[in-house]
Chain A
């Protein structure tokens, strides 16, 4: 199972909105609504930001939103803040009853 494809890096200025894409196939992203997004700061454990494509866990800012179209899922961060600078990973269930993560995206706040 190949990793889902994410851009290596995305950057934006404080207050701006950015979108991170996560591209898979009909055997993972396109075939299931169990797409999640995680934020990871250096040396820390990942944190769940979005689950089941577009749901936010309690305590996660509403500046984070998720969506999906076909084989591509997206994470949008609006009102970008310095604390949002981190690595972001998507994940998806697969037809093989496994889980695949994305390649990861480094978000830089300019």
Chain B
């Protein structure tokens, strides 16, 4: 059974940093691209970032480019999102999502339950 478990969310001050983790199980982690998708309270879905199965290619939304860094550790079956220079508008539930392919195509067949990030002073 595929499982994705996010962790690392919490309350952080504007300008601060946070690292999210997503522990994956039930599939060959290195064979699939992964993404982070966020949802602000009461709002719609927003794609944040993606990484290929090999980790050699990364992609970012303009809203986070230069501030967020996606990475993966296949030895630990874990996806990461390093978030720096956080802003109030980054407040959201962050979901990790498994792509249906080894390269990023944006069809997410499995999702975690999400971790809440709140940026506030």
A interface residue numbers (CB < 8 A to B): 1, 3, 34, 36, 38, 40, 45-48, 51-52, 57, 89, 91-93, 97-104
Query: Across the A-B interface, how many residue pairs have beta carbons closer than 8 Å?
Result: 60
Question: Which one of B35, B95, B100, B111 lies within 8 Å of A99 (CB-CB)?
Answer: B35
B107 in contact with A34 (CB, 8 Å): yes
Task: Give the contact stretch, choosing among B12-20, B23-31, B39-47, B68-76.
Answer: B39-47
In whole angstroms, what is the CA distance A92 to B105 when docked?
A: 9
A48 in contact with B44 (CB, 8 Å): no
Chain B residues bordering chain A, tally (CB within 8 A): 23
Q: In whole Å, how far is A94's beta carbon from the nearest beta carbon of chain B? A: 9
B interface residue numbers (CB < 8 A to A): 35, 37, 44-47, 50, 59-62, 95, 100, 104-109, 111-114
**Chain B CB within 10 Å — which of A48, A57, A93 has the most?**
A48
Offer 7 A-B interface pairs, CB within 8 angstroms, sorted by A. A46-B108, A51-B107, A91-B45, A93-B105, A99-B35, A101-B37, A103-B44
Contact partners of A45 in chain B: CB under 8 A = 95, 111-114
